[in-house]
Each structure stands twice: as C-alpha cells, then as structure tokens.
Amino acid sequence: MNDAATLQACVQYAKELRADIPQEAFQRNPWRLLWLPVHLAIIGGATTLMLATEIHWGWRLALSAVIGHSYGVLMFLAHEILHGSVVKNARLQNWISGLCMLPYCIGPAHWKAWHNRAHHGHTSQSGADPDSFGNVTMFICNRVARFMLTFAPGSGYRRSWLFLGFWFSFHAITTLFLHSQRYDYWNAARRRRQIALFFAMVAFWAGVAVTVGMRHFLFLYVLPIIVANMLQMSYIATNHLFCDETEDVNDPLANSLSVSVPKWLGWLHLNFGYHIEHHIYPYMNPRHAPRVRAALEARYGRRYRSLPILTALRVLYETPPVHLSQKELVDLDTGAVFSTLGVECELPRQIDRVTVPVRPRRTAAALRLLKLEGSSPAIETSAVIGAPPAPATDPADGAARKRAA
C-alpha cells in the first residue's frame, strides 16, 4: 500500500539503489551536447528551405512538424543541462539551455526555480507543485481556475483536446507571473529580471514575425511550437496527474509514472520517459536511466510502475485531474470519483460518486492549503468544515454542459 506508513522519500531510494548502479552512471555526459548542432541544423535547413523556395503548403506543414520536434528535443536537452548532468560550468549551462528554451520564452533561472526546486521538491503537493492540478480545495472559490480546468485532460470538455498543443507554453507564463510570486521563487529584483528576460524573448519572436512576414511565421514558429508543446506534454502530463497526491512524503513510486516508447524513439527523445528514475536521480544523465530501471525492478518488483505512452495518454483522458484525497480523483461537475494509479500499476477506475458541489474529504489538509492560498476564514469554514454549502447540482447537468462545451 502507498500509505503514510510505507512511503519513503526520493533520497532514501537513492541511497538504497546506489550500490546496484555502476559508478560511471553518475558521471556527467558532455557528449549530449552533440544533439545541439544536429537540431540547430535541422531547424536552420527547414527554415531556409521554406524562406528560399515556394514549396507546396503540404511540405511546409511537414517541415513545421520537423522544426517542432527539434524544438521539443532541445527542451529535453535543456532539462538535462540545467540538472547538471551534461556540463558543470554554470555559465555554460545557462547560455546553452537558454538557447534551447528560446522557442518557449523560458529563462534558465525560471526553469530551475519552477522545475528543479518547486516541482522536484514538492512533487504532487497541492499548490506547491506547479505541475499538479491539485485538490478540490484549490477550485472551491477560484472561478478562473475552474475555467482553466475545463482544458485539462479528463475534464470531459471538448476543449480539453487542445491541452497538449498549448499547455506547456501557457504554463510557463503562469509559473512566471503567478506561481513564482505566490511561492517566492525569487526576491523582487530577481523576479523583475526574469520578467524582463521573458519580454525580451517575446520581442525577439515578434521581430522574427515582422522580418519574415506572418505567412512564413505561421510555418516557422506558430505550428512548430504547437508540435513542441504536444511532444512535451505527452510525456509530462502522463508522469504524475493520475498518480497519488503526496503531501507529506515525496515518494516517486507513489506520485510518479514512467512511460515507455519504442527504443528508437526513446533514443531520439533522450530517454525522457524514464520519469521515476529521474525523480530519484535528477542529477544523473538519462542515458543511464535504463540501469536505474533495472535496479528498481530488481529491488522493488511491481511497485515500479511503467505504462506504454499511448496507454498512459488514454488513461489521462479517461481520468479526472483533481484530487479528492491522496488516492482519489474527482470530476467536479459530475461527482464521479476514480482511484489513482494502483500500487502495482492497476489502472484508475470509478469507485464512488459524491454530491456536487464537491467538497474536500480531508479537513486538516484542506484548511492548511486554504490558509496558504489566502482565503478568508468565512470561506474556509464554509468550504471545508461543511457550513451551508451551495445548492447541489444534478450530475446530469454537468455532463450536459460538457457535451455542449
């Protein structure tokens, strides 16, 4: 069981597995930098071909997809670099990763604060983990959050099919302007510098648009960044969203999932699907992730969880994204309650139905989060303790709204 008595932190797994993994697996791998000129050449060649010739729009679409794939892989490379698994020099890390992340308008310091510290440090903790949709409490009094939730996979709304194509870029903006302020990523001066860097990158792409014209810009940037978002989110969204919430102990065997792809695709995508492995050893280059997987399977057996990526994506869209409790997910419109991914990778399934509007199951945790979010005591009492709730909504009404959305 993944309960409080059996959960253990990433560092404990790292200590237990260390003897099972060759020492060379913990060395930096600067050879990964060879991917940089490869993908810059692909982007440059495709760009030149579209600007210098009048090729058919069908070929332009294909080249846009190729550029977008390269944007995506460069983000994977930046991810490795900023975890320190490629080169040691911090200035070199920042310059190379900054170039790789330019299509997303993400600066190195922004990524390290958002991903390395907030996500890795607080994985699947409601509110504190920027990559989690959180629990019911986060949506009780926040209409904007409720609206954005309709774009989430598993929400049941048609617009949720847009999620993969835009969410990574959108989420980068929300972490910079909202989450970074609420959770104090930086002091005021550093935050202003990060925002200034963001607008400088936006200005760069605006300059590109003016220079090449909107027709070319559509194929050189707009469509490629959609493809790049789809590539990022196909991995990222399946790594945690239907796993357990872990408020107290950051256990990667409870809150994370690895996804498998064909071996050639894993090579192209820099082994990005080995996500449990990455949370245990974020500073290890993913080239060695298969060794960590073998050690995990040998030591922990079926507690190591992995799904084929297409299966994980199907489950993602069949399962609501909001936690009702540690091991439950809930549809806020219908009240349908699903289990999270099982301890031995049993797929989520509907197990209950609660009254709409949905209220948290766990009073103490919900009160702590509401206090952190800055809600008033009156709202806290009404929302969590159970003082007169809003009139209940017929679950059928929620389902009808989804079909119409």
Q: What is the pLDDT of residues 164-205, one digit of tens each?
A: 999 999 999 999 999 999 999 999 999 999 999 999 999 999
Residue 83 falls inside a structural domain: yes
Given a cut of 50, whether residue 393 has pLDDT beyond it is no
pLDDT band, very low/low/confident/very high, at 141 (cuts 50, 70, 90): confident
pTM above 0.85, yes or no: yes
12 located within any domain: no
Task: Name the domain boundary from 264, 292, 311.
Answer: 311
Range of the domain at 326: 319-404
Residue 82: the pLDDT is: 99
Indicate if 244 and 355 belong to the same structural domain.
Answer: no
- Pair (230, 94) in one structural domain: yes
What's the pLDDT band for 388 if we cut at 50, 70, 90?
very low
Look up tokens 């399962």; give the residue.
319
Considering the chain, what is the average pLDDT of its residues?
91
Q: Which pLDDT belongs to residue 383? A: 35
Average pLDDT over residues 226-248: 97
Among 194, 182, 76, 195, smallest CA distance to 129 is for 182
User: Residue by residue, what is the 3-state secondary structure of the chain?
Assistant: CCCCCCCCCHHHHHHHHHHHCCHHHHCCCHHHHHHHHHHHHHHHHHHHHHHHCCCCHHHHHHHHHHHHHHHHHHHHHHHHHHCCCCCCCHHHHHHHHHHHCHHHCCCHHHHHHHHHHHHHHCCCCCCCCCCCCCEHHHHCCCHHHHHHHCCCCCCCCHHHHHHHHHHHHHHHHHHHHHHHHHCCCCCHHHHHHHHHHHHHHHHHHHHHHHHHCHHHHHHHHHHHHHHHHHHHHHHHHHHHCCCCCCCCCCCHHHHCCEEECCHHHHHHCCCCCCHHHHHHCCCCCHHHHHHHHHHHHHHHHHHCCEEEHHHHHHHHHHCCCEEEECCEEECCCCCEEEECCCCCCCCCCEEEECCCCCCCCCHHHHHHHHHHHCCCHHHHHHHHHCCCCCCCCCHHHHHHHHHHC
What's the total number of domains in the chain? 2
Range 146-159 average pLDDT: 97
Pairing of strands 350-353, 258-260: unpaired
Q: Are residues 126 and 206 in the same domain?
A: yes
User: Same structural domain for residues 288 and 331?
Assistant: no
* Shared-domain flag, residues 130 and 86: yes
Residue 389 has pLDDT above 70, yes or no: no
Residues 295, 343 within the same domain: no
Distance CA(32)–CA(287), nearest Å, equals 9
The answer on 244 and 345 residing in a single domain is no
Give 290's contacts (C-beta < 8 A, 6+ positions apart).
271, 274
Is 268 found in the same domain as 251?
yes
Please indicate, yes or no, whether residues 31 and 85 belong to a single structural domain of this protein: yes
Answer yes or no: is 341 within a domain.
yes
Task: Give residue 405's pLDDT band: very low, low, confident or very high (50, 70, 90).
Answer: low
The pLDDT tens digits for 51-68 are 999 999 999 999 999 999
Closest to 237 measured CA to CA, from 289, 171, 174? 171
pLDDT recorded at residue 203: 99
Q: Which of 280, 311, 342 is the last residue of a domain?
A: 311
Residue 92 domain-assigned (yes or no): yes
Same domain (yes/no): 287, 325: no
104 pLDDT higher than 60: yes
384 vs 312 pLDDT, higher one: 312
Considering the domain architecture, whether residues 113 and 245 belong to the same structural domain is answered as yes
* Final residue in a domain of this structure, among 254, 276, 311: 311
Residues 385 and 279: their CA atoms lie apart, in Å, by 35
Across the range 352-371, mean pLDDT stands at 72
Mark whether 93 and 223 lie in a shared domain.
yes
pLDDT per residue over 1-37, tens digit each? 555 558 999 999 999 999 999 999 999 999 999 999 9
pLDDT above 80: residue 126 = yes
